[in-house]
Amino acid sequence: MDHLLPWLRLQFTPGLGRVGLMRLIDHFETPENAINAASRGWPKLPGLRKGLANTVPLAGDAKIQKACQGLTKMDGWFRTIWEDDYPQVLKDIPDPPVLLYGCGSLPEEPTLAIVGTRQPSDFGRVFTEQLAEELASAGIAIISGMARGIDSAAHRGALNAAGKTLAVLGCGIDRVYPPENIKLYHQIIEQGTLISEYPPGSEPLPGHFPGRNRIISGLSKGTLVIEACRKSGSLITTEFALEQGREVMAVPGGVDRKTSYGPNLLIKQGAHPVTEAVEILEILGINGHNMRAQPLTEPADFQLPAPAGSVLSELSLTPLHSDELAKESGLTPMELSVILLQLELQGYAEKLSGGRYIRGRRAL
């Protein structure tokens, strides 16, 4: 951690931003040289306000020590933009992060960012998870921001396929945000990668997330949007992707849904409309012709004995209330509840809030 301390001292200097830090290193070459020169005052470099050199914190500062301890505890790594093992794809974007903190290896596979609303429809959530699973099975590393909704579904899909997934955080890599993603967070640590430009211990402040999005798109060959409202942060990610020369894709949606606004707008503006994994592979320049497309709304190719089979035949990715299922199947509520429980345990059905059901992952 001796190598990390001088960088942290500069990063925690109040008012010294990314641009100022880069200009300091360009001038002094190393963080140690910059800190040693602070007592004499720094030169009048663009982006450095007067008196900034007097505010460099000591190595024993509590935030600095917390960051060092957090990274050590996670067996994490630290990169600067001047190092050879810093991701080249990020070096090439217009505003690359100067410092990166991570846990896990960076993907060598082709990469795709999947982003979308934090409040997806049931269809959007299941669609995203299966699509990410298919892409991960085809050798694509899935990148997202571990937010609620579409982000989380994308990570889960990749993990279900034992594939690679990378979460770019708007806080320190030692922070679980949102808190309910604690299980997903630990799964990604075990199987994937966490990355952030903010040092360990950093809070998930609102101002961190727009900048986080440029890293998501910057690490990816393309960005896919699944369900996004008019003011969604996902649209910010696509703006970065276009600026960085990346492919932009979107899953079209019904005009009656608010979350269809973003994808439909992107398609109008020239984004690739996609509905299947094979289409995405082709856009990324990967041979997907041998990959079998798997429609999400058609019945799976298997048979269950009646009456469970007849109940399953009524289920799709459109939620159906148990009362409607009872009416369609002709079963009593007690008989139906036993069958639905059996289908849940076998993975053929999934129960949603309000007594509604959809097809489970095993039946897709």
Kindly write down the DSSP assignment for every residue of 242-302, as one continuous string: HHTT-EEEE----TTSGGGHHHHHHHHTTPEE--SHHHHHHHTT---TTSPP--SSSPPS-
Same domain for 159 and 202, yes or no, is yes
Same domain for 207 and 354, yes or no, is no
Residue at 326 is within a domain: yes
Residue at 84 is within a domain: no
Residue at 241 is within a domain: yes
What pLDDT is recorded for position 291? 53
Tens-digit pLDDT profile for residues 79-98: 999 999 999 999 999 999 99
Tens-digit pLDDT profile for residues 290-333: 454 444 443 443 456 778 888 888 888 888 899 999 888 888 88
Same domain for 145 and 233, yes or no, is yes
Of 220, 248, 283, the residue that ends a domain is 283
Domain that holds residue 196: 111-283
Same domain for 236 and 116, yes or no, is yes
Long-range contacts of 230-238 (CB under 8 A, 24+ apart): 230/258, 230/261, 230/262, 232/116, 232/117, 232/262, 233/115, 233/209, 234/115, 234/116, 234/117, 234/150, 234/262, 235/262, 235/265, 235/266, 236/210, 237/113, 237/115, 237/213, 238/266, 238/271
Element (H, E) at 224: strand 222-226
In this model, does residue 104 exceed pLDDT 60?
Answer: yes
Same domain for 271 and 351, yes or no, is no
In this model, does residue 240 exceed pLDDT 90?
Answer: yes
Element (H, E) at 115: strand 111-116
Report the CATH number that the domain containing residue 341 is assigned in CATH.
Answer: 1.10.10.10
Same domain for 354 and 235, yes or no, is no
Same domain for 252 and 118, yes or no, is yes
Residue at 74 is within a domain: no
Structural domain total, the chain: 3
Same domain for 53 and 118, yes or no, is no
Cα first-last separation, the chain: 48
Residue at 270 is within a domain: yes
CB-side exposure of 209: number of CA atoms within 13 Å? 15
Same domain for 126 and 6, yes or no, is no
Report the CATH number that the domain containing residue 136 is assigned in CATH.
Answer: 3.40.50.450
Same domain for 262 and 350, yes or no, is no
Residue at 244 is within a domain: yes
Same domain for 263 and 336, yes or no, is no
In this model, does residue 229 exceed pLDDT 80?
Answer: yes
Tens-digit pLDDT profile for residues 188-225: 999 999 999 999 999 999 999 999 999 999 999 999 99
Strands 111-116, 222-226: pairing is: parallel
Same domain for 137 and 30, yes or no, is no
Residue at 290 is within a domain: no
The average pLDDT across 155-159 equals 97
Residue at 92 is within a domain: no
- Helix, strand, coil % over all residues of the chain, rounded to 5: 45, 15, 45
